């Protein structure tokens, strides 16, 4: 199988490195990449009127400042069960690549795979859909409750995948990590534990 230069890095980290241990999550402020229960918002329902399962924060791209007003808009994306897709798509969404004519290419670029959430006892895989975005007010998001706090390492993979979806810029994971390292180093208001690579 021929592999294009753009496939030199996996799209996702190992499943066990996605989520901060629930016992330590309170040390981390709400931020980009965290998964919440779906807030009570008219935009967070399917075309059939069913409420979304979960949402993931995509903006602000850093920490959610505690000084923000309750009506501050936070951009969230819909989180779906992988099993809602056809079986043929399960593995493709899980790895983010597909093989076509012996060449590996990006697949389902609008998705970001998520392993089972630590807040749940079942073993369900999820994916965020960058095409299903809704601005919700901060108060309703906080009241809905955080289900999973994303690690710094997993957040870098999310940044890389979202940048690819928006701009078709397939930066390396090392570049994405360096951009995030510089952002954190230049942020005097950064709160919570810093990544080991900062």
Percentage helix, strand, coil, to 5, in the chain? 30, 25, 45
Q: In the CATH scheme, what architecture does the domain 2-185 have?
A: Roll (2.30)
DSSP characters over 56-94: EEEESSSB--TTS-TT-EEEEEEEEEGGGS-HHHHHHHH
DSSP 45: B
Which tokens in the block code for residue 134?
């809704």
Mean pLDDT of 162-183: 94
The per-residue pLDDT for 169 is: 93
Mean pLDDT of 130-159: 96
The per-residue pLDDT for 120 is: 82
Residues 127, 170 contacting (CB under 8 angstroms): no
Q: How many CB atoms are located within 10 Å of the residue 98 CB?
A: 15
- The pLDDT mean for the chain works out to 90
3-state secondary structure of 1: coil
What pLDDT digit, counting tens, does each position of 11-37 carry? 999 999 999 999 999 999 999 999 999
Which tokens in the block code for residue 192?
């919570």
More confident residue, 136 or 67: 136
Sign of the Cα torsion 159, 65, 145, 73 reads negative
Whether the pLDDT of residue 168 is over 70: the answer is yes
pTM for the model stands at 0.91
């Amino acid at each position: 199988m021929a592999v294009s230069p753009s496939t030199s890095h996996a799209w996702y980290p190992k499943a066990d490195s996605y989520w901060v241990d629930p016992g330590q999550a309170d040390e981390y402020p709400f931020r980009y990449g965290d998964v919440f229960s779906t807030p009570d918002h008219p935009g967070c329902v399917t075309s059939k009127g069913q409420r979304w399962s979960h949402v993931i924060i995509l903006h602000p791209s850093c920490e959610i400042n505690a000084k923000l007003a309750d009506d501050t808009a936070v951009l969230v994306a819909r989180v779906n069960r992988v099993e809602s897709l056809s079986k043929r798509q399960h593995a493709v969404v899980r790895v983010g690549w597909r093989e076509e004519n012996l060449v590996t290419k990006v697949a389902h670029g609008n998705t970001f795979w998520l392993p089972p959430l630590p807040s749940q006892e079942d073993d369900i895989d999820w994916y965020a859909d960058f095409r299903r975005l809704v601005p919700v007010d901060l108060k309703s998001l906080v009241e809905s409750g955080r289900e999973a706090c994303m690690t710094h390492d997993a957040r870098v993979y999310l940044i890389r995948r979202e940048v690819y979806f928006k701009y078709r810029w397939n930066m390396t994971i090392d570049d994405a990590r360096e951009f995030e390292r510089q952002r954190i180093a230049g942020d005097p208001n950064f709160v919570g534990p810093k990544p080991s690579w900062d």
